[in-house]
Structure 1
Amino acid sequence: MATIPEKFDPLIASAVYVWCTTVRPDGTPHTTPIWFIRDGGSFYFYTIPGSQKVRNLAANPHISLSFAADHEGEEFFVVEGTAAVDDSLPKPHLNDAYMAKYRSAPYMIEATPEKYSLRFSLPVRVTPTRVRGID
């Protein structure tokens, strides 16, 4: 597992979402914004079972998470790694860290945490294998 340099901690802590890229079976990238939580040296997110992202990861577990702090691209880094379903994680609405970060997000307010958990019910853990970015 790759170690994430401490200099990126403020960027991780301030990010509401990251850009998640998986690879379709035909080799083309599939990029979507995701909500995430850092958990020690790894990250996790919840997604919709059967989504394109899930189908991509079932065929190829490689993933990247792109963090950017500003629109000028002066501060960014990318985590490359592997992703796997992590059934040890609680449902989103029962996850204290997830609720602390996202309970007041617009979609969560509209859907309620319980309804969100029904839709975004698949927990995925990302284990970093490489980190790159601006020094």
Structure 2
Amino acid sequence: MSARLLDPSVPVEAHAGERLTGAPVVWLGTVGPGGRPHTVPVWFTWDDPTITIFSRPDTAKIGHLRAHDAVSVALDTAEEGTDVVTGSGHAVLTQFGRVERALDAFGRKYGPVLGEQPLDAWLMTFSLPIVVTLDRLVAWRSTSAGLEYASLPSGG
């Protein structure tokens, strides 16, 4: 696993980690033919510095990732646009056996949303794991004490 991006002792980074853990959707940006951007909302789990997504294998994003592994991610803004988390990195298409920890976290996070549908049944459709390793993360938020900002890694 790559080195963690977030330091939980730094308030803006701890807050970004909480948002990445709890947000229901992250926007995944891929690059299509001719460099055209393609952005879609996806369910995900966060384990610093990786985001794991489960996709149908027949989607445009999968075709894009087979040709070009660079991606961007962004959470919906919070607090009327004053709480922002974005990042970029590279994606790998993988197999269930390589994402067991993420699979457990995914079940805990989305099980209540699935209701009566078992996770195993849902995964029959969304059968292709995507692991995004972030190499850059930008987070900022406005607080009563002023602007908190992090661009990670800090030398990047």
Q: Which residue identity is paired with 2:43?
A: W
TM-score with structure 1 length normalisation? Answer: 0.85
Matches within 5 A, 1:45-124: 45-70=53-78, 72-87=80-95, 88-90=98-100, 95-105=103-113, 108-109=114-115, 111-124=117-130
Q: How far 1:128 moved relative to its partner?
A: 0.8
Distance 1:63 1:103 in 2: 27
Segments of 4+ moved more than 6 angstroms: none
Number of aligned residues: 130
**Greater CA drift, 108-117 or 124-133:** 108-117
Q: Name which of 120, 134, 153 aligns with 1:128.
A: 134
Q: Which residue identity is paired with 2:130?
A: V
Q: Which residue of 1 aligns with 2:14?
A: 6
Deviations 1:19-78 (A, max 9, x none): 111111121111111111112321111001121000001111011110134262100111
* SS of match in other structure, 1:133: strand
- In our comparison, the structure showing a higher alpha carbon Rg is 2
Distance 2:90 2:60 in 1: 16
Q: How far 1:14 moved relative to its partner?
A: 2.3
Identity of aligned residues (%): 27
Higher relative contact order (CA 8 A, sep 6+): 1
Q: How far 1:13 moved relative to its partner?
A: 2.4
* SS of match in other structure, 2:81: coil
* SS of match in other structure, 1:13: helix
Q: Which residue of 1 aligns with 2:153?
A: none
Distance 2:53 2:76 in 1: 18
* SS of match in other structure, 1:82: strand
Deviations 1:95-118 (A, max 9, x none): 32111000111xx23654232111
Distance 1:89 1:14 in 2: 19
Q: Which residue identity is paired with 2:66?
A: A
Q: Which residue identity is paired with 2:74?
A: S
Q: Which residue identity is paired with 1:45?
A: I
Q: Which runs of 5+ in 1 are unaligned?
A: none
Distance 1:111 1:30 in 2: 29
- Aligned-residue Cα RMSD (Å) equals 2.0
